[in-house]
Chains A and B, each alone.
Chain A
């Protein structure tokens, strides 16, 4: 906004040709910029910011979402501390995230490395890897529901063929969360692969050539040269996948509905139950805010650690 303030003291260099204030404001880059983004700002403000603020207000109320609520102070937050179902959902979410993120990142890295070469039909493989990402979650979940059906699913048929007993998958409380991991890794892997492939393209061939001349094997060059150079992409993926893992909902909603016996009730699914099945809007908002804070803290830690790590490389 420096355009509107006249230079302090002394005569301006070209007083005559200087355009009028109004004109200067009108043509200034910042105003044009604001004008261009204002529709977006308005929409995001209305449908993003206002609800975020309002949910914060709600979290201090007892509110069934329709009738005016009553103020209850910190009661919703205090209730969270003594809610075994909430504790259970937090535990499930953490376990899910700790398995999903590493599996997805390492899997994507390996697949991207495998696809980053010139072989016949590469375009086909690349499309095949990406298709799960653009497949609707509901379709994915329905398909996995059939594949992993304990009685009639193809996976159990295959396991039986090689002499392994049938598994319960979504029906077994000890396997349900792992089955969700399997399903979501399938759905997200392609996303990671795309990010890694883009990053691999930017690794200079000179570096790999130099490594080869120094007698470095291809495998060693991958781990010692390429992987460190991919650190920014890894950081982005870890943060992005963690945020999504902490907000897992759709797949649970379609397949297990939080069961069996609460073994896949994650935080957002519990929030949904409270808000839209029990109509405890205030309590649900408190859960949403605790989740928001958790994501904020986790992301901040990841950024801090990740930055230090990638700075050390170049």
Chain B
């Protein structure tokens, strides 16, 4: 029977209820530590697939072989998109992994809960070298001044372009001193309506995917998302207007932007030579066909500032008793050390999470193996701001994303869009989490 919508609704209501039901029966109940003969068994939940899964499996196997007292079991979480929901359900049921991979955006929903281990004291141990992580990674792992995560993965946005299309249009390749005007002019020249070729692509589904690219532009202009005390929106500003105006001018006036509806078509179109430039991260590089000759460059700048944006993900530790917590931290310290993570990036092409990884011997082979990644590594220093870890951020993101969508399709004027988004964000902030 095809009653799918109904099923989903029932499921939604059911999950809402089941979670809170379990929450009321006793949060903080933890299963007994799995200990036998001095061996502490801990579990690590992750969403790695493909090469990353192979690499992490190999690393854990080597750890288990050399550390008989702490045995780590890997558990696949079914995909990181559902990691937060799974973790919350596990918390409600009192069954949690010891270490879990969580999106950076999940930090606000998890931080401060009794089941989540506060790592502030642990990371401040000098031997852990917390300052070796990039500052925006540390910010993203922190909520209300306390550290709840260790950076597991870092990405950032850079400019990826198709050299063949640039050559054909007679446009010189992007440089590291490009301005927004250079970028806009190039996109216009690279657009050819008769063959449906676009200069740029923008994800216009109104989700966080729409918002975070705009945030990079806001920061380049010197704007900020929230007021310094975090109680009011601050993006309805001259900087916000300039960023929004650029989107409007390129998408509506020049029509040089392909508007992706969130289904990831932009990458297929880049592969088939229909889109000349993307603002994207290293995760897309592996999906670019080998016959596409592409280059990478840092984002164009407004006023000389090439700010980018990163979405660092974290390892978080959950409270399953002191013995397991201690074992989990010992293992995590090893897993996130420069040496171990350096080996991991060499196998996977992920970016280094610690600055000192770029000084390791393996880094030379890394650059040789993943030439496209060099720009992304350099670009890490252009990430100066982190998105706020607050419970109202999803609502603010939704308000901005939805309004930017209106601007991109020519439905809303930039100023009207900012007014509405700021009003929605302020009412969300006033209502509290």
Give A contacts to B, CB under 8 Å: 47-48, 50-55, 58, 63-69, 133-134, 137, 142, 145-146, 149-152, 168, 170-173, 187-188, 191, 243-244, 247-251, 255-262, 268, 271-273, 275-279, 281, 284-285, 288, 291
Contact = CB atoms under 8 A, between A and B. Distances in A.
Contact of A50 (B16, B21, B206): B21
B409 A51 contact: no
Contacts of B198: 151
Given A65-B20, A142-B263, A278-B394, A51 B14 contact: yes
B10 interface: yes
B16 A152 contact: no
Interface residues of B, number: 53
B16 A58 contact: yes
A66 B27 contact: yes
A261 B210 CA distance: 12
- Give the dominant DSSP class at A's interface: helix
B5 A250 contact: yes
Contact of B5 (A133, A145, A248): A248
A244 B1 CA distance: 12
Interface in B85-120: 85, 88, 91-92, 109, 113
B23 A68 contact: yes
B193 to A, nearest CB: 10
Interface string B289-312: 000000000000000000000000
A268 B206 contact: no
B406 A260 contact: yes
B9 interface: yes
B406 A55 contact: no
B258 A66 contact: no
Given A257-B206, A278-B394, A272 B12 contact: yes
Interface in B12-43: 12-21, 23-24, 27
Interface string B201-245: 000111100000000000000000000000000000000000000
Given A48-B10, A52-B13, A273-B398, A279 B109 contact: yes
A261 B395 contact: no
A278 B395 contact: yes
A291 to B, nearest CB: 8
B17 A276 contact: no
B305 to A, nearest CB: 30
Interface of B: 2-6, 8-10, 12-21, 23-24, 27, 85, 88, 91-92, 109, 113, 196, 198, 204-207, 258-259, 261-263, 265, 269, 274, 391, 394-395, 398, 402-403, 405-406, 409, 411-412, 433
A172 B204 CA distance: 12
**Could you say which of A171, A251, A268 has the most chain B C-beta atoms within 10 Å of its C-beta?**
A171
A259 B24 CA distance: 36
A92 to B, nearest CB: 14
A278 B395 CA distance: 6
Contacts, number: 162
29 contacts: A48-B14, A51-B14, A54-B20, A64-B433, A65-B88, A67-B23, A67-B27, A142-B263, A146-B265, A151-B196, A151-B198, A171-B204, A171-B261, A171-B409, A172-B409, A187-B2, A243-B6, A247-B6, A248-B5, A249-B5, A257-B205, A259-B402, A260-B405, A262-B402, A268-B9, A277-B394, A278-B394, A281-B20, A288-B13
B2 A285 contact: no
A191 B2 contact: yes
A69 B20 contact: yes
Contacts of A67: 23, 27, 113
B17 A171 contact: no
Given A257-B205, A262-B402, A268-B12, 17 more contacts: A54-B17, A54-B18, A58-B16, A65-B23, A65-B88, A66-B92, A151-B258, A152-B196, A171-B409, A173-B411, A187-B2, A247-B8, A249-B8, A257-B207, A260-B206, A278-B395, A288-B13
Contacts of A133: 2
* 7 closest A-B pairs by CB: A54-B17, A51-B17, A51-B14, A259-B206, A261-B406, A247-B5, A65-B19
Contacts of B92: 65-66
A36 B56 CA distance: 49
Contacts of A260: 204, 206, 405-406, 409, 411
B274 A152 contact: yes
Given A145-B261, A250-B4, A55 B17 contact: yes
A145 B263 CA distance: 8
A273 B403 CA distance: 16
A261 B398 contact: no
Given A54-B21, A63-B20, A168 B409 contact: yes
A224 B297 CA distance: 71
A66 B398 contact: no
Nearest to B428: A278
A268 B274 contact: no
A44 to B, nearest CB: 11
B16 A284 contact: yes
A65 B16 contact: yes
B335 to A, nearest CB: 27
Nearest to A65: B19
Contacts of B265: 145-146, 149, 152
B122 to A, nearest CB: 24
Contacts of B391: 64, 279
A64 B433 CA distance: 9
A87 B62 CA distance: 57
Contacts of A170: 261
Contacts of B274: 152
**Could you say which of A63, A150, A247, A288 has the most chain B C-beta atoms within 10 Å of its C-beta?**
A247
Nearest to B3: A244
Contacts of B395: 277-278
A275 B261 CA distance: 23
A261 B403 contact: yes
A157 to B, nearest CB: 10
Contacts of A277: 394-395, 398
A258 B17 CA distance: 24
B9 A275 contact: no
Contacts of A278: 394-395
